[in-house]
Chains A and B, each alone.
Chain A
């Protein structure tokens, strides 16, 4: 198997697992959102990689060019990026409200307060 030739997919996997681990392991809500972002970004790279054809150019008909990259995954991932931005914005907005209501963004401290309430 050509390991080095697929290096972009290795980057995807490393980023994906990094992001996923950050989401699971960190108690700070901001860090969770950061992890979520890294996780989503890895998927963006996955889609962008699969559309790229080595030696291919942008999908615009031009004389002397026969190999084009596939634009569809790139367009798809634009949509997913928008979704990701919306999720991040909403997540951060919720964190602002949580900070107002609980006075902290640490999950453990929030849980303690919930037990008191």
Chain B
């Protein structure tokens, strides 16, 4: 009975828990409730994924209104995977958030923080699960508005301007998406994605369809911070509270990539997006620039949070590169990198949050000699860094392996070289931290720094551990990603 309603409970549980958090007022109680809600969401997303893998796509009519009229929640192997990523990161970060938030945010705002966090989680899960184009916009705005609030909670006053900048860019992106959806509705008379997928191909290269496609692509690219539209991301990630940066870096841009995937391959169909419009000619160069330029910029950052933010932009480039190659292997690489990067970058930002808690700064010079003072935190950082580089036995290697394979399938040695060049650049920026943390003595005259508390170390290590584990045992991640890629390219919604 309950199992039949899993798709809607996935959204409703965190959505209801969010205002309750605010009513509880006491920070600790709100945290407890948020934790329960996020763990429930994780359990549900795991159940949904296993159901989808065994029985095929699930369709759920919201409020029992049949599909083309009512809102349909449709779970297939792509979004079940995204749901699992988002829910897992949320569930891992909340235990971590308690100490980190207590340190970085005034006590009277704690319940509001957890409310905003749960709303953001709800929005991101909602974007992933819904099969209705307009519903997608609504959930996107729920997640965006709450993430502006979360970023503005950062201690540095520049968090405010970063949040405002993101608000302007994010709203433009979301409005572009609504325009695109509106134009699609105008020409087809439906908002249901499966319905759209059936009604769009006969229209061919209709002007309205082309314009809608352009608006949707640009709107989604703004949200996922594809290279020339990435301006908001470094500031937002740098000044947000540590737990928020970890959460957003691991989920928000990934959901943006999912929106792009969903519209390209399910709604418009790969035949339209790739064969007719040859979108790869746009996406691949942008991805290549993102990988090379953003990795290079990352090398010159002295604020490590900002360095990782630029590295995130480069990693988004890898995902878009995989998608842009539009072959089963390329798409598999793109989707598996969604998961892999969520684990790696989430873990890295959490490790930095531990440093912020104990040292009070995440600038390079303040990390001198930390390798001895905080061995577990820094070791987690190094492992995460290795995964960014793509060393074998880490998830980063798996992503790059498939990317290089996909490039070689298309005889594109250049793209393979770009992927490897990105890794070389990653070695440089990761090494800068390793050198300062391990090879330099701690600055004289500073008080001894202690290791981070277990409540923060364990979540960090869960994510870092996952980025090692799934680098060895890839049957789950690559298996699901391949199935998802084949389904997307097969054209079946």
Contact = CB atoms under 8 A, between A and B. Distances in A.
Interface residues of A, number: 30
A43 B175 contact: yes
Contacts of B272: none
A47 interface: yes
A50 B161 contact: no
A117 B160 CA distance: 15
A95 B138 CA distance: 24
B182 A73 contact: yes
Main secondary structure of the interface of B (DSSP, over half): helix
A47 B164 CA distance: 27
Contact of B161 (A36, A72, A91, A114): A114
B292 interface: no
B160 A94 contact: yes
B66 to A, nearest CB: 15
A80 interface: yes
A87 B143 CA distance: 12
Contact of B138 (A32, A50, A83, A94): A83
B164 A87 contact: no
B164 A46 contact: no
Interface residues of B, number: 25
A46 B284 CA distance: 33
Interface in B382-429: none
Given A43-B178, A43-B182, A97 B149 contact: no
A6 to B, nearest CB: 12
Nearest to B152: A94
A90 B148 contact: yes
A32 B168 CA distance: 8
Interface string A25-64: 0000100100010011001001100100000000000000
Interface in A54-107: 72-73, 76, 79-80, 83, 86-87, 90-91, 94-95, 97-98, 101-102
A76 B161 CA distance: 31
A9 to B, nearest CB: 10
B145 A114 contact: no
A14 to B, nearest CB: 15
A114 B158 contact: yes
A68 B310 CA distance: 52
B167 interface: yes
A110 B235 CA distance: 14
A39 to B, nearest CB: 6
A73 B182 CA distance: 8
Given A94-B163, A102-B157, A23 B145 contact: no
Contacts of B376: none
Nearest to B146: A90
Contacts of B157: 101-102
Given A40-B175, A94-B152, A114-B158, A50 B163 contact: no
A67 B167 CA distance: 41
B198 interface: no
A14 B429 CA distance: 46
B438 interface: no
Contacts of B141: 83, 86-87
B175 A95 contact: no
B8 interface: no
A39 B178 contact: no
A94 B178 contact: no
Contacts of A46: 179, 182
Interface string B169-210: 001101100110010011000000000000000000000000
B191 to A, nearest CB: 8
Contacts of B145: 83, 86-87, 90
Interface of B: 134, 137-138, 141, 145, 148-149, 152, 157-158, 160-161, 163-164, 167-168, 171-172, 174-175, 178-179, 182, 185-186
The 9 closest A-B pairs by CB, nearest first: A101-B157, A83-B141, A94-B164, A98-B160, A50-B186, A97-B160, A87-B171, A47-B182, A91-B167
